[in-house]
A and B are shown apart, each in its own frame.
Chain A
Amino acid sequence: MKKTLSASSLLLSAFALVSALACAPSARAQAADAHLGAQAYAKHCAVCHGEQRQGNLPGFPPLLDINRQLKPEQITMLIRHGRGRMPAFPNLPEAEVSELLRFLATDPMSTPASASGASSNLADAGSHLFQRNCAFCHGRDAGGGETGPDLTRSKLALADVGGDKIGEVVRNGRPEKKMPAFNFNSEEIRSLAAFIHSQQKKASSRPGGRRGVDVSDLQTGNVEAGKAYFNGAGGCAKCHSPTGDLAGVASRYEGLQLERRMLYPEDTVSKVEVTLASGQKIAGTLAYRDEWVLGMRDTEGIYHSWPVRSIHFTVDSPVDAHVELFSKYTDDDIHNLMAYIQTLK
């Protein structure tokens, strides 16, 4: 039963993605036609799918925007034959089915019966999930909080459509950043994404007083002082060059993202060279290391691991130089360095 349901919700999401541009009749005409349909909906559908078509997750999907996901013939098939735990309504009069179809095609924003709005209903369902599971780290308004980033500014979240990108992160987690994975179904992911998108809209519509870190906030340093630090006390020039690896870095990244990369580029790979008992040497990138096991990916991308006591190995971890600077930085050093790095366009 559960399998059928999640398969069907996956299908629904897929439809949502491919047919996002369905036309609807004018709002006023909808409202007039929808009256009979609304009654039919209240009688047959609302008990499971909610009075406002908001659904009741995880078992019962929302029907808001269902006309954007399914064609009228498909909805009719569903009503007539049922699916999963949804019962069939083979004896519903033809006229009532078409009223129902018309009602389902209306935008609830324009009907007084559901003044709170369609996407906001999906977002409301998502809000509940978000408050329970995500708000502690990402803030209740998704604007960032304890350890979790501001999702209203997240590039990934901004590029997300209907949960396609957010869902991937939520389901897999980000173990390297301590974000746990959550076992949400597709409808739940859609509702979460709807909530996050509604928060993005809210955040961007706040004139002037935008929360969080703007590029303009990070302009307090002195370029010359930063350049001197880069070439002198900071020791940056030992590994980096403004015309080499850092050429154009400020065009590729900006603002907070650039500053965080400047302080600790966490995706930097460490090289490792392993000498086996046989004397054979293998070089690659460090993939895992604890007290007992060393893992590496060789130049072909193939993973190898050994008990550390059976091999000799050397690790070259250039990012360690960034860690060594931590105990030496002043805030001015950081702001000046940031001013200089921002000139490397």
Chain B
Amino acid sequence: MRSKITMKLLRQIAYIAASAMLPVLAAPMHAQNLTPDAILHPTPDSWPSYHGDYSGRRHSKLTQITPKNVNELGLSWAFQTGQTASIKASPLLVDGIIYFTVPDNIWAVDARSGHMLWHYNKPTEDGDHIGQRGVAMYKGWLYFLTPNGHLLSLDAKNGHVRWDVQVSDVSKGYWTTMCPLVVKDHVIVGVSGDMDNLQGYLMSVDPETGKTQWRWDATPPAGTPNATTGGMTWITGTYDPDLNLLYWGTGNPTPVLTGKTRPGDNLYTCSIVALDVDTGKLSWGFSVSPHDTHDWDAVEPPVLVDGQFHGQPKKMLMQASRNGYFFVIDRTNGKSLLTVPYGPTNWTTGIDKDGHPIPNVDKEPTPDGRFIAPDEGGMTNFRSPSFDPKTGLFIVDAHPSYSIYFAKPADGYYGWAGADYGLWGKGVLEAIDYQTGKIRWSHDLGPGGSNAGVLSTDSGVTFTGDAHGNLLALATADGKTLWHVGTGSSMNSSPITYELDGRQYVLTSSGGVMFAWALPESMAKR
């Protein structure tokens, strides 16, 4: 009896000892092996994809920084890119190393100290250098898109290029800025380009070889009579592993400001689509701006939420769209649950029975001008919103705004094909109740508007930036300011958070500088 217990105990001790040793042995392997499973189930010490996880909620479970102590937040480190280009990338964090970008540049930076490990810098002559939204990672490889339409795979250890494939033709007018999304053994890549009448598409690339696995076309080939072109795919989408569906927003139709040559709804431009991630086959599509003539891309993150909707459990998709409407959709079938404006809009005659806004033909651009809300930058844009599950609030950096839109036959039917002028706008952080669309609280962000994305945490803190370049920490419950700091330039990216060595960091960028914020070490250990 006694010996049996002893034996069992010994066996247990041996087992514990062995398992304690395992991580030590496994660590070096792990450091270069970001598995698809680790992207699916991100650990608190990582931010392994554009949105942090596949849901696009930009909500963290971390609770060390609270509404009570956030006023103690201080600068842990700052990293200066030394570039005039503004950081528009969402940083990636894997194994203690942060990766972020501006066009033609990638930096790998130690997440603890902010010191640089390597810098990839290869200027390109062609393609629009409007922005770069970050890198994706699979195993030990990074995926980076260049302004001239190439997808590069680089060694995360040193930034050396492993392969380089062309994913879009810059000579036709395409360019690429987006952050790819890795799902299983697929690298999902989208394209940009609305200065020409070009077909928009989304494609899946083999992470090892760069070979195209599938391509989904948003619109018919250029030159198809009475058909639209456009539907670019320039913001990273989201993914539901249970349904095996990718959710992606598509951009405006072309020609942009005139709809004469493209009658109808112009599917699938300004739409949200659900695609089988393994085949690229369309499961459903939902037109957010049928027959758009105001450049309101519907590429804003399609946020995935499981929860109650009017008493029924639903698998939902939510989008605060550039056209000024907030959409809740059943993501299993693409059926509308709610369509409601979240700021001033004047371009529809109502909402149809399926939840699509009905465009008012009298609000299409004309030679003498049409007065339009919101403006072309839209009620929101590439910046990410956040969904806070505790309060059920969808928090978005909104931009109430007015403008005038013109188009005349002399503008032609190619590319922009008109002119529009913003008159006035401001920034307002809005907390939308997803079940009703009612705005539960709003927080002024200043004249002109802010480009900052939003991050919320389980402790009830929401981070964003204002129009003046202040970084803000607000109470998620009521939107009151808890803490702020002037950063010298406005935030053009979306914040992330992670915990390393028992300390929670919040990472924000302003202009060309990346900042890491944390509580004092003495407090963090408590």
* Distance in angstroms between the alpha carbons of A25 and B404 in the assembled complex: 52
Q: Tell me whether B468 and A290 are in contact (CB under 8 A).
A: yes
Cα distance A291–B128 in the bound complex, in angstroms? 36
Contacts of B410 in A (CB 8 A): 208-211
Nearest-Cβ distance from residue B151 to partner chain A, whole angstroms: 19
Chain B residues whose CB sits within 8 angstroms of the CB of A212 once the complex forms:
406, 411, 419
B423 in contact with A135 (CB, 8 Å): no
* Chain B 396-409 interface 0/1 with A at a Cβ cutoff of 8 Å (1 = within): 00000010101011
Bound Cα distance A192, B313 (Å) = 58
Chain B residues in 8 Å Cβ range of A144: 416, 419
- The listed residue (B128, B371, B402, B408) touching A136 by CB distance below 8 A is B128
Least distance between B204 CB and chain A CB atoms (Å): 27
Cβ contact within 8 Å between B130 and A334: no
Overall SS of chain A's interface: loop
Assess whether A140 is interfacial by the CB under 8 Å rule: yes
CB of B376 within 8 A of CB of A327, answer: no
Question: Chain B, 361-379, contact with A by CB distance < 8 Å: what is the 0/1 string?
Answer: 0100001111101001100
Query: Which chain A residues border B421 with CB–CB below 8 Å?
Result: 149, 256, 260
A182–B84 CB distance below 8 A: yes
Is A300 close to B, CB under 8 A? no
Query: Complex: how many Å from CA A144 to CA B416?
Result: 9
* Chain A: CB-nearest residue to B372: A331
Residues in B235-270 with C-beta less than 8 Å from chain A: none
Min distance, Cβ A262 to any Cβ of chain B, angstroms = 10
Q: Are B419 and A291 in contact (CB under 8 A)?
A: no
A128 near B125: Cβ-Cβ < 8 Å: yes
Task: Contacts A180-B84, A210-B410 given; indicate if A132 touches B128 (C-beta within 8 A).
Answer: yes
Whether B424 lies near A264 (C-beta < 8 A) is yes
Q: Which residue of A lies closest to B252 (CB)?
A: A146
Q: Would you call A263 and B423 a contact (CB within 8 A)?
A: yes
Least distance between B150 CB and chain A CB atoms (Å): 15
B344, A327: Cβ atoms under 8 Å?
yes
Stretch from A62-70, A114-122, A161-169, A213-221 contacting the other chain: A213-221
In the complex, chain A residues whose CB is within 8 Å of the CB of B125: 128, 132
Contact mask for chain B residues 169-191; partner A; CB cutoff 8 A; 1 contact, 0 none: 00000000000000000000000
Check if A176 is an interface residue, CB within 8 A of chain B: yes
A140 pairs with B195, CB closer than 8 A = yes
Q: Are B409 and A146 in contact (CB under 8 A)?
A: no
B125, B370, B408: most-surrounded residue (chain A CB, <10 A): B408
A263 to B402, CA, bound (A): 10
CB contacts (< 8 Å) of B147 on chain A: these are 132
Contact code string A132-157 (vs B, CB < 8 Å = 1, else 0): 11011001100111110110000000
Q: In the bound complex, do residue A217 and residue B128 qualify as a contact, i.e. CB atoms below 8 Å apart?
A: no
B230 sits at the interface (CB 8 A): no
Task: Decide: A180 and B195 in contact? CB cutoff 8 A.
Answer: no
> Quick check: is B462 within 8 A (CB to CB) of the other chain?
no
Interface residues of A in 251-298 (CB under 8 A from B): 256, 259-260, 263-264, 266, 288, 290-292
- Number of residues in A with C-beta < 8 Å to the partner? 50
* Chain A residue nearest in CB terms to B449: A178
Q: Roughly how many angstroms separate A183 CA and B409 CA in the complex, as a whole number?
A: 38
Whether the Cβ atoms of A290 and B411 lie closer than 8 Å is no
A197 beta carbon closer than 8 Å to chain B: no
- A residues within 8 A CB of B484? 291-292
B355 sits at the interface (CB 8 A) = no
Q: For the complex, give the distance between the alpha carbons of A260 and B126 in Å.
A: 35
**Which chain A positions have C-beta within 8 A of B411?**
211-212
Q: Counting CB contacts under 8 A, is A131 at the interface?
A: yes
A32 an interface residue at 8 Å Cβ cutoff? no
Residue among B368, B402, B412, B416 with the most chain A CB within 10 A? B368
- Distance in angstroms between the alpha carbons of A135 and B373 in the assembled complex: 24
The verdict on B86 contacting chain A, using a C-beta distance below 8 Å, is yes
Asked whether A109 is an interface residue with its Cβ less than 8 Å from the other chain, the reply is no
Give complex CA distance A37, B115 in Å: 53
Q: Complex Cα distance A292/B469, Å?
A: 13
> Is residue B36 within 8 Å, beta carbon to beta carbon, of the partner chain?
no
Given A149-B421, A150-B419 in contact, is the A136-B369 Cβ separation under 8 Å?
no
Distance of B221 from chain A, by nearest CB (Å):
22
Contact status of A213 and B424, CB under 8 A, knowing A182-B84, A292-B484:
no
| B300 contacts partner chain A, Cβ-Cβ < 8 Å | no
A133 near B129: Cβ-Cβ < 8 Å: yes
Within residues 313 to 341 of chain A, which ones have a CB less than 8 A from any CB in chain B?
Answer: 322-323, 326-327, 329-331, 334-335
User: Do A259 and B128 form a contact, CB below 8 Å, given A145-B416, A146-B376, A182-B84?
Assistant: no
Whether A217 pairs with B406 at a CB distance below 8 angstroms is yes
User: Whole-angstrom distance from the CB of A321 to the nearest CB of chain B?
Assistant: 12
> Does A344 count as interface, using CB distance less than 8 angstroms?
no
Is B127's beta carbon under 8 Å from chain A?
yes
Contact B84 A183 (CB under 8 A): yes
Taking the complex as formed, is A181 at the interface, i.e. its CB lies under 8 A from any CB of chain B?
yes
Hey, which chain A residues are within 8 Å of B422, CB to CB?
Answer: 147
B33 within 8 Å of A (CB atoms): no
Across the interface, name the chain A residue whose C-beta is closest to B173.
A140
By a CB distance below 8 angstroms, the chain B residues around A143 are 416
Distance (Å) between the CB of B425 and the closest chain A CB? 10
Q: Nearest-CB distance from B177 to chain A (Å)?
A: 10
On whether the beta carbons of A217 and B446 are closer than 8 Å, the reply is: no
- Interface contact B424-A290, CB-CB below 8 Å: no
Closest chain A residue to B362 by CB distance? A331
With A139-B416, A147-B377, A326-B424: A218-B369 Cβ-Cβ less than 8 Å: yes
A136 contacts B409, C-beta separation under 8 Å: no
- Give the docked Cα–Cα distance between A136 and B173 (Å): 11
Is B470 an interface position by the 8 A CB rule? yes
Q: Which residue on A lies nearest to B104, using beta carbons?
A: A132
Chain B residue at smallest Cβ distance from A150: B419
Q: A145-B195, A218-B369, A290-B468 are in contact. Are A263 and B84 (CB under 8 A)?
A: no
Q: Is B392 an interface residue (CB 8 A)?
A: no
A283 vs B367: C-alpha distance when bound (angstroms)? 45
A139 and B424 contact, Cβ closer than 8 Å, known pairs A146-B376, A147-B377: no
A189 to B468, CA, bound (A): 29
Report how far A334 CA is from B422 CA in the complex, Å: 15
Residue B213 at the chain A interface, CB threshold 8 Å: no
Known: A128-B125, A132-B127, A135-B128. A181 touches B84 (CB 8 A): yes
Given A132-B125, A132-B147; A334-B371 close (CB under 8 Å): yes
The reply to whether A218 and B424 contact each other, CB–CB distance below 8 Å, is no
**Measured CA separation A256–B408 after assembly (Å):** 15
Interface residues as binary, B477-495 with A (CB distance below 8 Å gives 1, 0 otherwise): 0000100100000000000
List residues of chain A with CB within 8 A of the CB of B468: 288, 290
Q: Chain A residues near B404: list those with CB within 8 A.
A: 259-260, 263, 334
Provide the residues of chain A in CB contact with B220, threshold 8 Å: none
Asked whether any CB of chain A lies closer than 8 Å to the CB of B430, the reply is no
Residues of B within 8 A of A (CB): 84, 86, 125-130, 147, 195, 295, 344, 362, 367-371, 373, 376-377, 402, 404, 406, 408-412, 415-416, 419, 421-424, 446, 448, 466, 468, 470, 481, 484
Having A132-B147, A144-B416, one finds 9 other A-B pairs with CB under 8 Å, namely A136-B128, A139-B416, A209-B409, A211-B412, A259-B404, A260-B404, A263-B371, A290-B466, A326-B423
Chain A residues in the interface with B (C-beta under 8 A): 128, 131-133, 135-136, 139-140, 143-147, 149-150, 176, 178, 180-183, 208-213, 217-220, 256, 259-260, 263-264, 266, 288, 290-292, 322-323, 326-327, 329-331, 334-335
* A-B contacts, 5 listed (Cβ < 8 Å): A147-B422, A209-B410, A260-B404, A290-B470, A331-B362
